Chains A and B, each alone.
Chain A
Amino acid sequence: MAATTTMTAKPLAAGADLLRIVHINEEIKRVVGVSVKINIMALNAIFLAKRAGTAALGFGVLSNELRVFSQDLRSCMESLNGLIHACVNQVSIGLQGIRKGRLLSEAARLAPQQASITRILRGHEQEIERRAQRLGALRRQLKGALEDVFQMVELGGVLAKSAKIEAAYGQGFAASLAQVSGEFDGVVEEISGSLESLRRSAFFTGNRENWRG
């Protein structure tokens, strides 16, 4: 009975992992979308700072920095695609392996006289273990990469808040600059929220007693 429960739990856990990866990927795509939005906003802010002249020099510099930040963020998030693809690949192969293992185990139970099946099953289990270790390594790599992005976004938050301060010195343009910098702050907060939800994803924190990796 316990063996049956484990056999059922394994594909369920792997299937849940696949769904979690899909959610992570969707969140990454959302952050990429927001980074494009920051880039356009920063361009507009640069033009606005130029119109404001010397009163918005600092604001102009920060807008330019925010533009660079958005481009770095975008390329950083896009570079996660390779890791996501590798995770999907490992989980998919793992799911196939679990199914194959279930069928081979059942064959071994029905044909106990076949000594060769024990050897094949052992080899199969070792392969699943290797795959699980590879997935574990990818999981850690992805988590590390997301932590790097998180730090980058914290810097983006500092830039947005500094832009808010600089906006106060914008004289006649102060109101427009304050509005733009407020929008910067809002979108960077939005990214932080996305990254926080990624950090909390059960893909990184879930119990993997039945589906190693």
Chain B
Amino acid sequence: MKTTKTIFQDGNHKWVAIVRDPQKPNYLIDTNEYLVTHGGKGLVLDPGGAEIFPAVFSALSAEFDPSALAGIFASHQDPDVCSSLALWLEFNPSMRCYISWMWSGFIPHFGGSAETFLPIPDEGMDISLEGLMLKAIPAHYLHSSGNFNLYDKVAKVLFSGDVGAALLPSGADGLFVENFDAHIRHAEGFHKRWMGSNEAKRRWCERISQMDVNMLCPQHGAIYRGEDVQRFINWFDELQVGIVSA
């Protein structure tokens, strides 16, 4: 079963990371899911693949009533991001799914109906969670061509999807980055290969540098906090991406 860690709390406004499942088979990539709650409602960010649904659901439901989930934010279209969609909809069929307009015709193959999807335009949009205004931030081509991060200005938390992701070796299962230089080695190959555009990467770095971010939360690996956030942005800005040796 996965564990939950509250990474931000101010009254009923919470960010919960759902991470690390020792029982997960090795052939499935490890993923982090996040729950944002406010005013009794919740939004799950990249709720994960269908195969890990039981682990995510049980961890989440220990923290929060799943029938009070208002929606799902899917950073992009990958199966490890949201192939569990149909299972979540079992608990609340009126739940909405925020995703790039590009994928709003593709993701229904995972489940949902015409009413389920709220397409995010390329420039991003505000997403309200019981009065808390969250912002879908464009991160196109990082790695998906229709890709978004989610920013919470109040909590100063940025959910960055695959940006900042690291494929950690077994045993390295800390929730936060503790030693940036040691950690970033596990992120380098991933970013070089999965991120397809240096131009898009530069724009993202410029955009995020201007935002007040205390925590940068990727879908894989550990969370960057404090000075490690800017350290990551600088590192990413310097990195040449879209590289494959073949």
Interface residues of A (CB under 8 A from B): 99-100, 103-104, 106-107, 109-111, 113-114, 116-117, 120, 124
Contacts and interface: CB of A to CB of B under 8 A. Distances in A.
B127 interface: no
B108 interface: no
Contacts, number: 40
Q: Interface residues of B toward A: which range?
A: 10 to 19
Main secondary structure of the interface of A (DSSP, over half): helix
B245 interface: no
Contact of A111 (B57, B86, B87, B90): B57
Given A110-B1, A116-B67, A120-B91, A100 B57 contact: no
Interface string B52-65: 01110110011000
A106, A107, A117, A120: most-surrounded residue (chain B CB, <10 A): A107
A103 B111 CA distance: 15
13 contacts: A100-B86, A100-B90, A103-B50, A103-B51, A103-B87, A104-B87, A104-B90, A110-B55, A111-B62, A114-B66, A116-B67, A120-B90, A124-B90
A106 B54 contact: yes
A206 to B, nearest CB: 28
A114 B61 contact: yes
A107 B53 contact: yes
B97 to A, nearest CB: 17
A106 B86 CA distance: 15
Nearest to B67: A116
Interface of B: 1, 50-51, 53-55, 57-58, 61-62, 66-67, 86-87, 90-91
Nearest to A114: B61
Given A107-B87, A110-B54, A111-B57, 16 more contacts: A100-B86, A100-B90, A103-B50, A103-B51, A103-B54, A104-B54, A104-B90, A107-B57, A107-B58, A109-B54, A110-B55, A110-B57, A111-B58, A114-B61, A114-B66, A120-B90
Contacts of B51: 103
A111 B18 CA distance: 15
B176 to A, nearest CB: 26
Contacts of B62: 111, 113
A107 B51 CA distance: 11
B67 A107 contact: no
B61 A100 contact: no
Contacts of A114: 57, 61, 66
B87 A100 contact: yes
A108 to B, nearest CB: 8
Contact of A99 (B50, B55, B61): B50
Nearest to A108: B54
A99 B53 CA distance: 12
Contacts of B91: 116-117, 120
Contacts of A120: 90-91
A115 to B, nearest CB: 10
A22 to B, nearest CB: 22
A25 to B, nearest CB: 24
A15 B21 CA distance: 30
A176 to B, nearest CB: 59
Contact of B54 (A107, A116, A124): A107
A111 B55 CA distance: 9
Nearest to A106: B54
